[in-house]
Amino acid sequence: MPGNLTLEALKELVASAKIDTVITALPDMQGRLMGKRFHAEFFLESAWEETHCCNYLLATDLEMYTVDGYSSTSWSAGYGDYVMKPDMSTLRLIPWLEGTAMVLCDLIDHHSHEPVAHSPRAILKHQINRLHNMGLASAVATELEFFVFRESFEELRDKSYRNMTTISPYNEDYHIFQTTKEEGLMRQIRNGLQAAGVRVENTKGEADPGQAEINVCYSDALEMADNHCLVKNAVKEIAFLNDRAVTFLAKWSHDAAGSSSHIHQSLVSSNGDPVFFDASADYGMSELMCHYVAGLLKYASDNTYFLAPYINSYKRFMAGTFAPTKAIWSLDNRTAGYRVVGDGTRNVRVECRVGGSDLNPYLAISAQIAAGIAGIEEKLELEKEFKGDAYQARKAREIPATLAQATLALKKSGMLRDAMGSDVIDHYVRAAQWEQEDFNSKVTEYEVNRGFERA
């Protein structure tokens, strides 16, 4: 079970006064957890079956602004309710918050009683069902990078995010001594998540001052997306409780490395056998795996918005930074957008290196599965492996360089419209358009500093 708590066990903990609060949470369009804190006794009386939320939660931006142009909800439609249906298999303890448990929820339309099609969990469940109908299941792991700062969130906000101090003064990639200095925080994160039912593999220093990475164990697609959301929320909360700040911005400073969220993926059969592996094939890559990877490459531009959803996301794609600029595949090559790892073994898989730490895992994994399914259904032939420095591959397939380019590719994607439904794609096209409209209406510090006197 994805969580670590049954309803009966929760009742016992509530009766013994060890749990008094239950968080019901849903992942929103940005991959954040939104919801309510229930007194545990009321949760056990009725809210464990369902509760409600305003349907604007799937039609806002990062600022919770009520954006116009959505067909699903609007001021003219009155912003009604969705049903939040707790998925009780995700019920878990949240050990870093006193007396608290949490359950993740699916969203149900209040009138049709059907899943809300554009809700991130429903989108991913639809792709999982498509695989199930093919006798397949997805195995996924996301790697998540972030920066840690000496100051608290409040301190950084009060000084307008200027003169921020990373917790490390130098590159700490794999650096044991430097990460020892940070262990007071990182150990709480590892142990807290493990106690919440998220199996943690490791944390490590990453390739810039103050940058860290956390890796959790491979699991099925839905559990991994749930875990990814829980990890981000836990890292923020535990940092807050330690008077530290963290950021999952893809690029928090032009002088710093970007933060990624690599997605390792493979397929298994209905009985759990790895279907990407063929001992007799080159690198152990089965024909089905080759079709799947070919789909990822053919539809790489279609998928980019779900891997890089903000203006800032595209500042990360720079040569020589381990963030890819080319949507090509290569064997164990960190300059390529898609890296095949575990070659020659039952663990052979493809790692998508395009996504930033700001992605919504449900949407990103869904898009990857959809492209892979298309590759299988179309029996696409995998192009020749790239060798060398992918940054120098001048004729190679480019990753869209801006949010505007990625939005256009999303809007035109017949593959994603077939896989997810046009209403779903139109919903996220509107979200992407709004990000650009909002940014374009703002005067930035860069413009003032550069042109105030000299323009």
State the pLDDT at residue 322: 87
Q: Averaged over 63-86, what is the pLDDT? A: 92
pLDDT of residue 320: 86
448: buried, middle or exposed (CB in 10 Å: 19+, 13-18, 0-12)? exposed
Alpha helices in 16-107 (DSSP H): 40-42
Q: Which residues contact 70 (CB under 8 A, 6 or more apart)?
A: 59, 427, 430
C-alpha–C-alpha distance, residues 242 and 244, integer Å: 5
DSSP characters over 322-384: TS--B--EEES-TTSSEEEESTTSTT-EEEE---BTTS-HHHHHHHHHHHHHHHHHTTPPPPP
How far is residue 149's CA from residue 209's CA, in Å, rounded to a whole number? 10
Question: What is the mean pLDDT of the segment spanning 53-80?
Answer: 92
pLDDT for 335 equals 93
pLDDT at residue 394, as a whole number: 86
Distance CA 232, CA 248 (A): 8
DSSP H helical ranges for 386-444:
403-412, 414-420, 422-440
Number of H helices, E strands in the chain: 14, 15
d(CA 100, CA 10): 10
Give the model's pLDDT for residue 1. Answer: 58
Torsion on CA atoms 434, 439, 441, 446, rounded to nearest 10: 180
Instruction: Check pLDDT > 80 for residue 305.
Output: yes
Look at 217-226, 262-271, 297-306, 318-327 and tell me which has the smallest mean pLDDT: 318-327
Residue 165 near residue 299 (C-beta atoms within 8 A): no
Print the SS3 string covering 230-285: HHHHHHHHHHHHCCCEEECCCCCCCCCCCCECCEEEEEEECCCCECCECCCCHHHE
Backbone angles phi, psi at 382, to 5 degrees: -75, 130
pLDDT in tens, 411-423: 999 999 999 999 9
**Domains of the chain, CATH where assigned:** 7-116 (3.10.20.70), 127-445 (3.30.590.10)
- Residue in 228, 256, 440 with CA at minimum distance from that of residue 355: 228
What percent of the chain lies above the pLDDT cut of 70? 100
**Rounded CA separation 261/241 (Å):** 24
- Residue-wise pLDDT for 209-261, tens only, equals 999 999 999 999 999 999 999 999 999 999 999 999 999 999 999 999 999 99
Q: What is the mean pLDDT of residues 133-162?
A: 97
Q: Kindly state the average pLDDT of the residues 152-174.
A: 96
- Residue 423 backbone dihedrals phi, psi, to 5 degrees: -60, -40
In the block, residue with structure tokens 């539809």: 299
Q: Burial code of 203-234, b = ≥16 C-beta within 10 A, e = fewer?
A: bbbbbbbbbbbbbbebbbbbbbbbbbbbbbbb
What is the 8-class DSSP label of residue 400? P
Beta carbons within 8 Å of 135's beta carbon, 6+ residues apart? 269, 270
pLDDT at 77: 85
Quick one: 127 exposed, middle or buried, by C-beta within 10 A (0-12, 13-18, 19+)?
buried
Per the prediction, the chain carries an average pLDDT of 96
| Cα separation, 40 vs 22, whole angstroms | 5
Residue 3 pLDDT greater than 90, yes or no: no
Predicted local distance difference test score (pLDDT) of residue 211: 97
Q: Give the C-alpha separation, 438 to 440, whole Å.
A: 6
pLDDT score recorded for residue 332: 93
Tens digit of each residue's pLDDT (9 = 90 or more) over 338-386: 999 999 999 999 999 999 999 999 999 999 999 999 999 999 999 999 9
Alpha carbons 117 and 428: distance in angstroms, whole number: 12
Percentage of the chain lying above the pLDDT 90 cut: 94
Question: Mean pLDDT throughout 110-138?
Answer: 96
